[in-house]
Amino acid sequence: MRPISMGYAILAVAVLCAPVAALMASRGPDAPAPHNEPAMQQRFIVKYRAGTEPARDPHAVQAHLDQVAEALPQTGKAASAPKLSWLRRLAVGADVFSVDPALDAAGTRRLLEALQADADVDYAEPDGIMTIQR
């Protein structure tokens, strides 16, 4: 009985690995790794420095986001400042907020530069799924 069950185990591994092998073969050795960044960015994470009002009180974050939105440089396409809406505080003390309408790469860069220039902000980054790139 033992050789038969070993055969089934080998067959199961081969069946489960076939789709991965096919995907790897279709990419070719010089193909770039897939780029998982969305074209439009709608959610961000901001961490405020310890001791600042937004770091102490999550309710103060929305007022700070409103100030940042009003101070953003406007482009020819944008008729008004984007709406920044606080969503929640993470366990690490950072805050997640959304932007309406979603920002393109240039708008994302302007928003992050404005946040990082603020003395109250420790860091700001787009919210997204982190993956390992080879």
pLDDT digits (tens, 9 = 90+) for 3-60: 667 667 666 666 566 565 555 555 444 444 444 445 578 999 999 999 999 999 999 9
Asked if the model's pLDDT at residue 76 lies above 80, the reply is no
pLDDT value for 39:
57
pLDDT value for 40:
75
Residues pairing with 43 in the sheet: 98
Distance from C-alpha of 46 to C-alpha of 96, rounded to nearest angstrom: 7
pLDDT value for 34:
45
Which residues make Cβ contacts (< 8 Å) with residue 98, sequence separation at least 6?
A: 42, 43, 44, 84, 85, 87
Tokens of 84: 């920044």
Angle between helices 105-117 and 58-71 (to 10 degrees): 120
pLDDT tens readout for residues 103-127: 888 899 999 999 999 999 999 999 9
The more confident residue out of 92 and 129 is 92
